[in-house]
């Protein structure tokens, strides 16, 4: 029944040989990897507008230059990742680049930053999307956590079904967003040229703060949240149809150009049409209202903004499981993250991300405002490490690649710019929540290293290196059979024990005084040849006297023989019936297998089931 529900939700299992077929073409890949990047203009524009508004018209007059500077930075970052895709076609993005060029520790720092970032992207996008819907329909505000969790569940299921289906589902909001914003921008440019500029000095409120260099830098830094999501494609190269690198690179360039036009275009129109937002309105909404009025076209624009914010969470569901699988492959995360689920996706990564996102949404009460300060530190830390890594990469390739110097300079400028942004974001938002990330990243790195150490230890301990191929046979067996009474459930176990060894002892744990004597009489009728040991248990424990007996017995038989335990276990016909029995066999098995022993071999446990028919 459970497996039927599962296959109804996520579809029937796919064979491994279909692995190559479930790749994305460029149209679908753009839809799968770009929503985070495209939707980030919604909050980046807002941050720039609010950052400059306090300095009045002098401030707002800098929106366009700052927008152009961020667009230039976007171009550089995109170019860097374009080069990364060519250099690292197996994916991994910032983690792989930082690790290979800067060393393991910077790589793990980048990986930790990226994992946290994916998680926050999912949580922020979902809550922001729901808040946007709730601004249009205020009745939904009270149940925003529930709506966000339902959306999260739907996105999780879609991703568990497999990438191609996800691409199809996600394509609608992404292309709706593009096909509503671009006509609006073109129309805006026509309006600008036919009606002429509106000087910002005529509409801006008076300044409440002076226009300082710090204010400009701070605005630049917060506006850089427009860049979040640019790295998604470079992590997901293996999801593209072959030739992967080429397709991924082209998709990245298209995405960066779309982002740049949307971002710079909307910033430019806002400034040169002299747009000022009402107190509780976003600047993008004010721009749309100015150009389109408050009718249906405006509502469609707002709705597509909400939708793309909601599906931006999906970028994380494409990126997080992939990065987790790469980390697991390298032994820094539990190996289970490499396992392909029924539908050839990294199901464990998807489920982990979904659970963690749900917890974040519940803890922060579905309020994106509280999550955003945590958000930018990880992005820019990963950017900086990745681009610094690329500088090193070009330096290493200086003999093979004639263009190493200009490429190094581009990446170097990018690295310095993103590092400066990182410092400004980290310092100015430290008390608002960035400290959580500053604390979490070392914890992640330590966990990565502990896990890696464990896998190394296991590998060494399992290695056959140095072991002679002529293996010794095991010593003769002493078998111990714990019995709960004389009944049909123990017959097969006794038969089996006698068939593999002449040295068999039955053990009866006496929980109630006097029960042992009754047991011995019955025993002697059925198995007179097999010795029965009755162990009193004054504290009513079954495990303790048995373990003590086995240890004592080992000490007595210091003759090279090996003790194994034969467990008669009866299995109920239905699962709920297991609740009606004491599960003693399970307890004994667990105790025997997991208990560290100081002398002798480990305990071998032989489980002889007796299935009840009803």
Q: Can you tell me whether residue 605 is helix, strand or coil?
A: strand
Nearer to its own copies, 139 or 467 (CB): 467
In angstroms, what CA-CA distances link 28 with 23, 33, 311?
9, 9, 14
The least distance separating its own copies from the CB of residue 530, rounded to whole angstroms, comes to 11
* CB of 225 closer than 8 Å to CB of 376: yes
Q: Which stretch binds its own copies (CB under 8 A): 22-30, 67-75, 238-246, 472-480?
A: 472-480
**Dist CA 573 CA 583 (whole Å):** 15
Nearer to its own copies, 278 or 529 (CB): 529
The least distance separating its own copies from the CB of residue 553, rounded to whole angstroms, comes to 18
Q: Which stretch binds its own copies (CB under 8 A): 125-133, 159-167, 281-289, 538-546?
A: 538-546
Options 369, 487, 518, 520; binder of its own copies; rule CB under 8 A: 487
**Dist CA 116 CA 378 (whole Å):** 7
Q: Which stretch binds its own copies (CB under 8 A): 151-159, 280-288, 355-363, 588-596?
A: 588-596
Options 105, 362, 427, 612; binder of its own copies; rule CB under 8 A: 612
Contacts of 341 (CB under 8 A, 6+ apart): 10, 160, 347, 348, 350
In angstroms, what CA-CA distances link 213 with 172, 210, 486, 541?
42, 10, 89, 74
Nearer to its own copies, 351 or 423 (CB): 351
Considering only CA atoms, give the Rg of the chain. 33
Give yes or no for residue 593 binding its own copies (CB under 8 A): yes
Give yes or no for residue 606 binding its own copies (CB under 8 A): yes
Options 9, 105, 363, 500; binder of its own copies; rule CB under 8 A: 500
Residues of span 296-335 touching its own copies by CB under 8 A: 334-335
Nearer to its own copies, 321 or 414 (CB): 321
Give yes or no for residue 604 binding its own copies (CB under 8 A): yes
Give yes or no for residue 505 binding its own copies (CB under 8 A): no
Q: Is 243 left (phi over 0), alpha (psi -120 to 50) or beta?
A: beta
Nearer to its own copies, 208 or 453 (CB): 453
Nearer to its own copies, 162 or 373 (CB): 162
Give yes or no for residue 598 binding its own copies (CB under 8 A): no
Token pair listed for 520? 């011995």
The least distance separating its own copies from the CB of residue 515, rounded to whole angstroms, comes to 11
Give yes or no for residue 431 binding its own copies (CB under 8 A): no
**Dist CA 333 CA 325 (whole Å):** 8
Question: What is the 8-class DSSP label of residue 24?
Answer: B
Nearer to its own copies, 378 or 516 (CB): 516
**Dist CA 144 CA 152 (whole Å):** 12
Options 257, 359, 526, 548; binder of its own copies; rule CB under 8 A: 526
Nearer to its own copies, 396 or 454 (CB): 454
Give yes or no for residue 554 binding its own copies (CB under 8 A): no
Q: Where are the alpha helices (DSSP H) in 330-475?
A: 347-363, 368-371, 376-396, 404-428, 435-462
Binding-residue pattern over the window 370 to 409 for its own copies, x denoting contact by CB under 8 A:
----------------------------------------
**Dist CA 322 CA 315 (whole Å):** 11
User: Cβ–Cβ contacts within 10 Å for residue 402, how many?
Assistant: 9
Residues of span 200-229 touching its own copies by CB under 8 A: none
Nearer to its own copies, 61 or 572 (CB): 572
Q: Which stretch binds its own copies (CB under 8 A): 74-82, 125-133, 551-559, 579-587?
A: 579-587
**Which value, to the nearest 10 degrees, does the dihedral of the CA atoms of residues 65, 374, 282, 285 take?**
90
The least distance separating its own copies from the CB of residue 12, rounded to whole angstroms, comes to 9
Give yes or no for residue 559 binding its own copies (CB under 8 A): no
Whether omega for the bond prior to residue 243 falls within 30 degrees of 0, making it cis, is yes
Per rule CB under 8 A, count of chain residues that contact its own copies = 77
**Dist CA 357 CA 148 (whole Å):** 10
Q: Is 581 left (phi over 0), alpha (psi -120 to 50) or beta?
A: beta
Q: Can you tell me whether residue 602 is helix, strand or coil?
A: coil
Options 253, 570, 587, 591; binder of its own copies; rule CB under 8 A: 570
Give yes or no for residue 601 binding its own copies (CB under 8 A): yes
Give yes or no for residue 336 binding its own copies (CB under 8 A): yes
Options 138, 279, 295, 473; binder of its own copies; rule CB under 8 A: 473
Nearer to its own copies, 15 or 295 (CB): 15
Q: Which stretch binds its own copies (CB under 8 A): 33-41, 429-437, 508-516, 551-559?
A: 508-516
* CB of 180 closer than 8 Å to CB of 300: yes
Token pair listed for 360? 């974040």
Give yes or no for residue 521 binding its own copies (CB under 8 A): no
Give yes or no for residue 355 binding its own copies (CB under 8 A): no
**Dist CA 610 CA 612 (whole Å):** 6
**Dist CA 125 CA 122 (whole Å):** 5
In angstroms, what CA-CA distances link 556 with 54, 532, 549, 561?
86, 17, 10, 11
The least distance separating its own copies from the CB of residue 359, rounded to whole angstroms, comes to 18
Nearer to its own copies, 197 or 611 (CB): 611
Give yes or no for residue 491 binding its own copies (CB under 8 A): yes
**Dist CA 511 CA 371 (whole Å):** 57
Options 538, 560, 598, 599; binder of its own copies; rule CB under 8 A: 538
Residue identified by tokens 């939707």 is: 39
Strands 532-536 and 604-611, sheet pairing: unpaired
Give yes or no for residue 3 binding its own copies (CB under 8 A): no
**Dist CA 419 CA 74 (whole Å):** 14
Give yes or no for residue 519 binding its own copies (CB under 8 A): no
Give yes or no for residue 599 binding its own copies (CB under 8 A): no
* CB of 230 closer than 8 Å to CB of 377: no
| Cα Dmax for the chain | 110
Residues of span 442-471 touching its own copies by CB under 8 A: 451, 454-455, 457-458, 461-464, 467, 469, 471
Q: Which stretch binds its own copies (CB under 8 A): 15-23, 304-312, 368-376, 419-427?
A: 15-23
The least distance separating its own copies from the CB of residue 557, rounded to whole angstroms, comes to 17
């Amino acid at each position: 029944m459970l497996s039927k529900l599962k296959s109804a939700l996520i579809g029937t299992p796919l064979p491994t040989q279909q692995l190559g077929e479930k790749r994305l073409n460029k149209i679908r890949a753009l839809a799968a990897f770009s929503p985070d990047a495209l939707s980030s203009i919604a909050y980046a524009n807002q941050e720039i507008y609010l950052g400059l508004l306090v300095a009045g018209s002098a401030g707002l007059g800098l929106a366009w230059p700052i927008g152009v500077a961020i667009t230039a930075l976007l171009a550089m970052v995109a170019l860097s990742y374009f080069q990364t895709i060519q250099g690292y076609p197996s994916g991994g993005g910032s983690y792989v680049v930082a690790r290979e060029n800067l060393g393991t520790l910077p790589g793990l720092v980048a990986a930790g930053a990226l994992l946290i970032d994916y998680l926050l992207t999912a949580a922020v996008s979902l809550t922001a999307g729901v808040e946007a819907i709730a601004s249009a329909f205020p009745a939904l505000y009270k149940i925003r956590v529930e709506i966000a969790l339902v959306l999260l569940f739907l996105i999780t299921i879609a991703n568990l079904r497999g990438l191609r289906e996800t691409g199809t589902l996600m394509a609608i909001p992404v292309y709706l967003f593009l096909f509503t914003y671009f006509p609006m921008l073109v129309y805006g440019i026509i309006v600008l040229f036919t009606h002429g500029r509106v000087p910002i000095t005529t509409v801006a409120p008076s300044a409440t703060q002076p226009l300082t260099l710090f204010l400009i830098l701070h605005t630049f830094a917060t506006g850089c949240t427009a860049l979040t999501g640019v790295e998604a494609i470079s992590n997901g190269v293996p999801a593209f149809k072959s030739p992967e690198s080429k397709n991924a690179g082209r998709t990245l360039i298209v995405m960066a150009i779309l982002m740049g036009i949307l971002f710079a275009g909307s910033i430019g129109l806002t400034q040169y049409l002299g747009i000022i937002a009402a107190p509780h309105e976003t600047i993008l909404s004010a721009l749309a209202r100015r150009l389109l009025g408050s009718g249906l076209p405006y509502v469609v624009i707002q709705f597509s903004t909400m939708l793309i914010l909601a599906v931006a969470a999906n970028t994380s569901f494409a990126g997080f499981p992939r990065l987790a699988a790469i980390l697991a492959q390298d032994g820094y995360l539990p190996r289970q993250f490499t396992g392909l689920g029924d539908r050839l996706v990294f199901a464990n990564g998807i489920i982990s991300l979904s659970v963690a996102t749900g917890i974040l949404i519940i803890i922060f009460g579905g309020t994106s405002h509280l999550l955003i300060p945590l958000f930018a530190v990880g992005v820019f830390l990963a950017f900086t490490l990745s681009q610094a890594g690329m500088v090193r990469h070009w330096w290493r390739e200086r003999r093979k690649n004639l263009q190493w110097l200009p490429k190094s300079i581009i990446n170097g400028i990018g690295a310095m710019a993103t590092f400066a942004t990182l410092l400004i974001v980290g310092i100015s938002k430290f008390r608002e929540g960035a400290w959580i990330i500053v604390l979490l990243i070392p914890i992640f790195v330590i966990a990565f290293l502990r896990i890696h150490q464990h896998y190394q230890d296991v590998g060494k301990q399992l290695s056959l290196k140095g072991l002679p191929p002529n293996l010794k046979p095991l010593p003769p067996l002493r078998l111990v059979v714990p019995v709960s009474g004389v009944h049909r459930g123990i017959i097969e176990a006794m038969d089996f024990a006698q068939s593999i060894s002449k040295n068999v002892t039955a053990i009866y744990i006496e929980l109630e005084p006097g029960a042992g004597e009754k047991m011995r009489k019955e025993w002697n009728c059925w198995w007179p040849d097999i010795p029965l040991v009755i162990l009193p248990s004054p504290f009513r424990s079954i495990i303790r006297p048995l373990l003590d007996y086995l240890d004592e017995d080992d000490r007595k038989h210091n003759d090279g023989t090996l003790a194994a335990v034969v467990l008669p276990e009866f299995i109920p016909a239905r699962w709920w019936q297991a609740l009606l029995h004491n599960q003693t066999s399970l307890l004994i098995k667990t105790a025997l297998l997991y208990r560290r022993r100081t002398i002798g071999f480990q305990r071998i446990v032989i489980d002889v089931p007796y299935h009840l028919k009803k």
